[in-house]
Structure 1
Amino acid sequence: MRRRTLLGAAGLAALAAPVLAGAPAFAGTGGFTAATATRDTTGAYRLAWACGAARVTVTATTDPYATTGVAVGSGAGTGTLDVPAGALPAATRWYFRLVADGGDALVVADRSLGFASARNFRDLGGYRTTDGHWVRTGLAYRSNTLASLSDGEQAALTALGITRDVDLRNVQERHDDPDRIPPGVTYQVADVEDLTHGVGFHDGAVLTLVEAVALGLLGGTGNLGQRVAYPFLVDFTGADRAYRGLLTALAGEPGATVFHCSSGKDRTGWGSAVLLSLLGVPRATVEADYLASNTYLGNPTAVELSWLRAAFDEADSLYGSVDGYLRQGLALDDATIGALRTKFLA
């Protein structure tokens, strides 16, 4: 029913092995209110953080669960640290462990993996929630198509501990451009446009379409078709099955998961927004992650905020809230929601 600094040479031997499934959770992170790691085109890193401690010590590691690594420097409780290009040896990915003098620790990394064939391949971790938790880095990745991964990029998936690939594309897209993934990665189809179980909508399709067109015209959009399509990510029962499959897989997979569509911005964008919302990430941060596809894809008009908001509006209209959408539309039970929060929140 519609309800309307300097790197010391010593310590390189302490670098950890690749990510291990079932590794222990990170230490408490309550002292950090902000933290980022960004890598520029030269390979240099800029680290920035804020916490109530007097001092923060930083180590670099190739394993987000390692408690030791390469000392790269320290700074004040609120500060920045630069790691010059070439200061760290080549690795699939570098993580930075920030340890406050009070004992709180937080792991951050540059979100992008820098894949030439999948420019929108990026980590969904490293975001702070409204209640002070952090989404763990290195467990969930969003991407555009994986059909052209090079041998080196496939090897990187293995090194990152990725054990599941969830494909949100339709049958024609999967046929024309099948994923290239390494052995040991489980392939799962979660077709958002799947018609094999019939065509069903939670509200009349015509009503949803008319309202979407009207709101798109009134609000203005650079792509009316996209603006109209987003409410159907919530209203179409086939999409429910796909996103339920995605979230259930994320909850139960012992290793890391990558999920994707073709461009990694629309179907993947909504899946990412739903996961981050479930974890308690503020809406403004969710929207910023969504809009980041414009940067990663090198197209300032790849996505538009009104499209994402149209999907959230549809969830509110049909179910009263995102939580209602999760429990009624996607039929997620308490155990699955609890497992997601336990797995992804530090």
Structure 2
Amino acid sequence: MRAHRWRTGLVAVAAGLAMLVAPLVRSVPATASTAGFGQASAIRGADGSYALSWASTATAVTVTAGTSPAGGGDGVAVGSGAGTGTLTVPAGTLPATTRWYFTLTPNSGSPLVVADRSLGLPDATNFRDVGGYRTSDGHWVRMGVAYRSNKLSGLSVAEQQVLVDQHVTLDVDLRNGKERSDDPDRIPAATTYRVADVEDLSHGIDFHDGAVLTLLTALALGLLEGTGNMGQRIAYPFMVDFGGADRAYRTLLTGIAANPQATVFHCSSGKDRTGWGAAVLLTLLGVPRATVEADYLASNDYLGRADAVELSWLRAAFDEVDALYGNFDGYLHDGLGLSDATVDALRARFLA
């Protein structure tokens, strides 16, 4: 592995220093078509209306709205449509509540629950559901199980109640000590708070490969591919190479796996350390890379900044995974130290 890593790094450095050429062209994997729902979404409008859309192999779909991510139970019928269709739920149709989940029930096959990804928290605008995505093998990532966010230090009492209503019982903080001290989380009293510092040095400074080599490779590829922020382009591979980051993401994933209720994880802006954590979780669950990248880029919209994140940064982290471990499964087990039982528990918890 070490020899392979050195060859890869040296080739990248040589290429980056020798040629400043056009960015590399990367292919986007296609999503295979399988039975059931191939697409589904619920988007809440500014006026409180909902725009639903779906595509399925069924001939008809009925839609009910409820307050539970499990669907059913308290469902209120809001309409129906063809196997592939759309439905608008006008503002005022449903009474005000923290969050509405919509159960799409086909006339053949299993139902699917979707909701608007954002919880609409004014003081945590990047607080959003990790679920609602389709995997490569046709499963769906359940909503209401895990959320990603920016810092939670400004949550009002009403916003904290939203976390209670969504059964968020675990808060995993990926920030460093100074960030935690300057802006401590404001969360419900019953929510467990856990630190998973991605920059933690308490166990020493350890890298899976030479820090200098990681730095030079990231710099060379940043020059070769182009980036609007070289510092970020360099930082992402270190979230894979640094032992402290491994411990943090292991704490995050094992915590989510063990929590029977919902979990939120966050850093300061909810885009870099949190962005990689979400990318790792979604990839572990079998979500296609193109969808993982779209979720990552959505921080630009939620934060209202076109340059909040850049796709080349995320791809640099995935490239580091391949360079160090050969594949993503190697990263999960040899890098993060996850057991098969933890991986299986996460998949059982999330996949519908």
Q: TM-score, normalised by structure 2?
A: 0.90
Number of aligned residues: 322
Aligned to 1:42, which of 14, 28, 47? 47
Match of 1:114 in 2: 120
Q: Deviations over 1:9-55 (max 9, x none)?
A: xxxxxxxxxxxxxxxxxxxx951111000112111110000111110
Q: CA deviation at 1:66?
A: 3.5
Match of 2:100 in 1: 94
| 1:338 matches 2:318 | no
5 Å matches for 1:93-172? Answer: 93-172=99-178
Q: Deviations over 1:231-281 (max 9, x none)?
A: 000000000000000000010001000000000000000000000000000
Match of 2:58 in 1: 53
Q: Deviations over 1:261-307 (max 9, x none)?
A: 00000000000000000000000000000000000000000000000
Where does the alignment leave 5 or more consecutive residues of structure 2 unmatched?
Answer: 6-33
Conserved in 2, the CA contact under 8 Å of 1:327 and 1:333? yes
| 1:217 matches 2:223 | yes
Conserved in 1, the CA contact under 8 Å of 2:35 and 2:57? no
Conserved in 2, the CA contact under 8 Å of 1:45 and 1:84? yes
CA RMSD of aligned residues (A): 1.0
Match of 1:12 in 2: none
Aligned to 1:63, which of 63, 68, 83? 68
Q: Secondary structure at the match of 2:184?
A: coil
**Separation in 1, partners of 2:72, 2:35:** 17
Aligned to 1:267, which of 262, 267, 273? 273
Conserved in 2, the CA contact under 8 Å of 1:30 and 1:133? no
Q: Secondary structure at the match of 2:298?
A: helix
Aligned to 1:242, which of 242, 248, 256? 248
| 1:284 matches 2:290 | yes
**Separation in 2, partners of 1:30, 1:154:** 39
**Separation in 1, partners of 2:151, 2:92:** 30
Where does the alignment leave 5 or more consecutive residues of structure 1 unmatched?
Answer: 5-28
Conserved in 2, the CA contact under 8 Å of 1:50 and 1:79? yes
| 1:83 matches 2:89 | yes
Corresponding letter in the other structure for 2:328: V
**Alignment identity in percent?**
70
| 1:303 matches 2:309 | yes
| 1:231 matches 2:237 | yes
Corresponding letter in the other structure for 1:329: G
Q: Secondary structure at the match of 1:243?
A: helix
Corresponding letter in the other structure for 2:70: Y
Q: CA deviation at 1:104?
A: 1.5
Match of 2:17 in 1: none
Conserved in 2, the CA contact under 8 Å of 1:46 and 1:83? yes
**Separation in 1, partners of 2:159, 2:184:** 16
| 1:192 matches 2:198 | yes
List 4+ stretches of structure 1 deviating above 2 A: 1-4
Match of 1:20 in 2: none
**Separation in 2, partners of 1:315, 1:102:** 41
